[in-house]
Each structure stands twice: as C-alpha cells, then as structure tokens.
C-alpha cells in the first residue's frame, strides 16, 4: 500500500494528490490518500508520498502540522520506512517550497529513507502543477511499484 499524505491550504496539493492517485491506480499500484494522517493507519505502508504546499512564511499546512509534530515529539522511529516528497511553492517568495524541506529534515532525523530528492513545483511555472508531477512520476512508476 502506498500512502499519499497531503498537506494543503488552498486545495492545489489535494488536486495534485488526486491526479497521483489516479496514475497509481491506473498502473495497478494500491494506494490511498489522506488529509489527516495518523501513524497507526500508515504503519503498514511501504512508501509514503508526501504532497505538500507551502504557506505563510514557509509553513507546513495546518492539516499536516499535528502529524509532523507528533512524530517529532514522540521521536517516532521511522527506520525502514521510505518516502518521496512533492513540494509545491512559489519561487517569487524566499521561502520557496520550505514546507517540503522542513518535513524532509524532520523525517530524516527520525530515520526515514528518501528514495528520491524532493520534487519542487513552482507556481510561477506556466505548466499546471499536476502535469509537472505526472511527468516526473511516470519515470518512477517501476520503483514505486516495487515498493507496493
């Protein structure tokens, strides 16, 4: 099972997650998405794909903050877990994609393994965020499938 963990303020990351979910399901990769992640429900997952926007002064979206804070407060051991991070932001701000970077740093400190570098999506790009993500993910489907 692949878990899509979505952090969103305006709905863009949620829309991207819906497209990712469709791509995975079309390739017979069992997956589900959540806006309110709970570690107990994610514990059987082989891969977390975190899709997050950045808001405010580089902040993690409000719906993800309790989950990330809980992992950190409890020093949750994430050794053996794998993750990918898709970070949405606007390069006209100096906090471009900062939420993804903050999440990465916290998860790495808890032992998770990132299987790819963070994929950053710039709102200043003329292409739609979901199109950029789909193009990037298409090449990674064999790797993702192997972790399902």
The per-residue pLDDT for range 99-113, each reduced to its tens digit, is: 999 999 999 999 999
pLDDT range class, residue 131, cuts 50, 70, 90: very high
Average pLDDT over residues 112-123: 96
* 46: pLDDT strictly greater than 90: no
Domain total of the chain: 1
* Average pLDDT value for the chain: 93
State how far the Cα of 23 lies from the Cα of 15, in Å rounded to an integer.
13
How confident is the model at residue 45, as a pLDDT? 83
How confident is the model at residue 4, as a pLDDT? 97
Q: CA of 71: how far to CAs of 10, 40, 75, 94, in Å?
A: 24, 11, 6, 27
How confident is the model at residue 56, as a pLDDT? 86
State how far the Cα of 109 lies from the Cα of 78, in Å rounded to an integer.
9
pLDDT range class, residue 94, cuts 50, 70, 90: very high
Q: What is the DSSP letter of 92?
A: T
CB-based burial label for 146 (10 Å; 0-12, 13-18, 19+): exposed
Q: What are the respective helix, strand and coil percentages of the chain, to the nearest 5? A: 40, 20, 40
This prediction has a pTM of 0.95
Cβ proximity of 87 and 97 under 8 Å: yes
How confident is the model at residue 44, as a pLDDT? 76
Cβ proximity of 89 and 98 under 8 Å: yes
Which CATH number belongs to the domain containing residue 137 in this structure?
Answer: 3.40.50.360
pLDDT range class, residue 125, cuts 50, 70, 90: confident
Domain interval for residue 35: 2-146
Average pLDDT over residues 87-102: 94
State how far the Cα of 47 lies from the Cα of 59, in Å rounded to an integer.
24
């Amino acid at each position: 099972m692949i878990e899509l963990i979505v952090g969103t303020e305006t709905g863009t990351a949620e829309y991207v997650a819906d497209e990712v979910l469709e791509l995975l399901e079309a390739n017979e990769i069992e997956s589900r998405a959540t806006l309110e992640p709970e570690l107990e429900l994610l514990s059987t997952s082989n891969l977390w794909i975190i899709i997050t926007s950045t808001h405010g002064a580089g902040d993690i979206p409000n719906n993800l903050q309790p989950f990330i804070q809980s992992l950190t407060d409890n020093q949750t051991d994430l050794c053996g877990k794998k993750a990918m991070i898709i970070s949405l932001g606007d390069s006209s701000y100096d906090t471009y994609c900062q939420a993804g970077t903050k999440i990465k740093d916290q998860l790495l400190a808890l032992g998770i393994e990132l299987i790819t570098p963070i994929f950053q999506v710039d709102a200043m790009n003329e292409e739609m965020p979901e199109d950029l993500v789909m193009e990037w993910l298409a090449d990674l489907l064999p790797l993702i499938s192997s972790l399902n």
